[in-house]
Amino acid sequence: MHADILLSIVMLLALVLYSLLGGADYGAGFLDLTCSGPRKERQRAVIASAIQPVWETNHVWLILVVVLMFSGFPAAFSAIGARLPGLLLLILLGIVLRGSSFVFRAYFAGDAQTQVYWGRVFSISSSLTPFFLGIVIGAISNGSAPVSVSSRGSWFRVAWLEFFPLSVGLLSLCLFAYLAATYLAVEAPDRELQDDFRRRALISGGVSVLAATLTYLLAGFYAPGIREGLASSSLSLAAELGAVFSAFFAFRSLILRRYRRARVAAAAQVALIVIGWAGAQFPYLFRPGVTLFNSAAPANVLWDLLLACGAGGLVLFPSLYLLLRVFKERRGTGSGSESNLQEDFLQVSGAEERRT
C-alpha cells in the first residue's frame, strides 16, 4: 500500500468520525432551534447535557483532518485556503460563535434575557456551520473552481455559490440533524421526550433523503466528475447500497421505537454516505486539478505522519472509549459538579465559622 493512499484513508476515517460525533453536536444545536411545546425547556436540557462533556473532543476530529491535510497534502491545503477564503471565513465564524456561545450560555450568571440570546447565537451558528462545511465538500467536488495558488481569487467572486455545493450543504445539515435526533432519542430520560426526538429524527431523515436525491440529480448537471465517480467506483456503489439499507433499517427501528438499533443504523448510514463520496472523489482532493498524488508530501514524510497517527491512536482510542463509556452508557443524572458547588460553598463557610 502506498503511503499517500494510507494517509488519505486515515483522513477519511477522521472525517467520518467528525461527521458522526461533531456533526451530531451541530445537529443538536440545530434541533435546539426547533424545541417547542410544553417540554421545550426539558428538550433543551437534554440537548445541552448530551453535548456538554463531549463537544470539544468531537471538534478535534476536524482539527486532525486539517493538520493531516496541511502536513501530508500541503499543496491541496494551500489551494483550498487560496481559492475558498470567504467560505472558510464563514466556517471559522460559525465555529468560534458556536463554541463560545455554548460555554457562555452554560456559565452565564446574568439576566435570563441575555442567556436566551447566547442560546440563539449557539443554535443559529450550529445550523450554519455544517451547511458551510457541506458547501466546502461540494466546492472541492464540483470541479468548477480553477485551482492555483498563484491565481487571484476573490472574496466576492464566490466559486462555491452554485447549486451543487449548496445542495451538499443542505444535505449535511439534514443528515446531522437526523443523527442528532436519533442519538437524543436514546439519551432522553422519558418516553415523551423520546417521542419528541423520534418525530424530529423521522422528519429530518425524510428531508435528508430528498436532499440526497436532489444532490445526486444536480451532480448530473453541475458536477459530472463526481456523478461519474458515484456511478462507476465500486467502493461508492457498495457504500451507496449499504447506506440505503442502513437508512431503511434506521427508519424501521425509529418507527418501532428501538432507539439503540436506530442509533447504530443512522450512524452507519451517514458514515457510508461520506465513504461513498470519498470513493467518487478519489483520487481528487480538490477538483479538477489537485489529486492525492500530485499534492502529497514525499513518501518518507507521509510514513512518519502515519507513524505519529498510529502512536497517537494508541492513546486516543482507549481514552475516547473511556469518555463515551462514562458519559454515554449510563443515562444522564445531570452534571454533578454544578449542583455540588453550592454545597461546597456552605461547607467552606461553615468551616470558617468554626475556626473563628
Near another protein in 262-301, by CB under 8 A: 297-298, 300-301
Instruction: Give just the sign of the alpha carbon dihedral 201, 171, 267, 240.
Output: positive
Q: Closest CB to another protein among 38 and 336?
A: 336
For residues 124 and 72, the answer to whether their CB atoms sit within 8 Å is: no
Q: Which of 45, 66, 207, 235 binds another protein (CB under 8 A)?
A: 66
Q: Which of the residues 328 through 347 are near another protein (CB under 8 A)?
A: 330, 333, 335-337, 340-342, 344-347
CA distance 132 to 113: 29
User: Which conformational region is residue 143 in: left (phi greater than 0), alpha (psi within -120 to 50 degrees), or beta?
Assistant: left
Using rule CB under 8 A, residue 67 touches another protein: yes
Q: How many CA atoms are closer than 13 Å to the CA of 162, on its beta-carbon side?
A: 22
For residues 33 and 123, the answer to whether their CB atoms sit within 8 Å is: yes
Using rule CB under 8 A, residue 63 touches another protein: yes
Provide the minimum distance between the beta carbon of 45 and another protein in the complex, in angstroms, as a whole number: 14
Q: Closest CB to another protein among 84 and 239?
A: 84
Provide the minimum distance between the beta carbon of 225 and another protein in the complex, in angstroms, as a whole number: 23
Phi, psi dihedral angles at 155 (to 5 degrees): -65, -35
**3-state DSSP call for residue 109?**
coil
Residue reference for cell 467518487: 280
Applying CB under 8 A, which part among 36-44, 85-93, 169-177, 270-278 lies near another protein? 85-93
Q: Which of 54, 124, 175, 254 binds another protein (CB under 8 A)?
A: 54
Q: What is the helix (H) or strand (E) element at residue 284, kind and residue range?
A: strand 284-286
Using rule CB under 8 A, residue 60 touches another protein: yes
Applying CB under 8 A, which part among 93-101, 198-206, 246-254, 280-288 lies near another protein? 93-101
CA distance 123 to 129: 10
For residues 4 and 292, the answer to whether their CB atoms sit within 8 Å is: yes
Q: Closest CB to another protein among 247 and 290?
A: 290
Using rule CB under 8 A, residue 143 touches another protein: no
Q: Closest CB to another protein among 42 and 59?
A: 59
Phi, psi dihedral angles at 290 (to 5 degrees): -100, 120
Residue 268 sits at the vertex; the CA angle it makes with 277 and 18, to the nearest 5 degrees, is 65
Give the residue among 44, 16, 27, 195 at the shortest CA–CA distance from 105: 44
Using rule CB under 8 A, residue 75 touches another protein: yes
Using rule CB under 8 A, residue 245 touches another protein: no
Q: Closest CB to another protein among 16 and 91?
A: 91
Provide the minimum distance between the beta carbon of 159 and another protein in the complex, in angstroms, as a whole number: 12
Provide the minimum distance between the beta carbon of 230 and another protein in the complex, in angstroms, as a whole number: 28
Using rule CB under 8 A, residue 34 touches another protein: no
Q: Closest CB to another protein among 64 and 174?
A: 64
Instruction: Give just the sign of the alpha carbon dihedral 34, 102, 183, 67.
Output: positive
Using rule CB under 8 A, residue 241 touches another protein: no
Q: Residue 339: how many CB atoms within 10 A of its CB?
A: 10
Using rule CB under 8 A, residue 149 touches another protein: yes
Provide the minimum distance between the beta carbon of 26 and another protein in the complex, in angstroms, as a whole number: 14
Using rule CB under 8 A, residue 316 touches another protein: yes
Q: Which of 53, 189, 220, 242 binds another protein (CB under 8 A)?
A: 53
Q: Which of the residues 150 through 189 are near another protein (CB under 8 A)?
A: 150, 152-156
Q: Closest CB to another protein among 190 and 338?
A: 338
3-state secondary structure 47-64: HHHHHCCCHHHHHHHHHH
Helix ranges restricted to H, 191-233: 191-222, 224-232
From residue 175, alpha-carbon distances to 13, 126, 148, 242, 247 in Å are: 18, 13, 32, 16, 11
Q: Which of 5, 45, 95, 237 binds another protein (CB under 8 A)?
A: 95
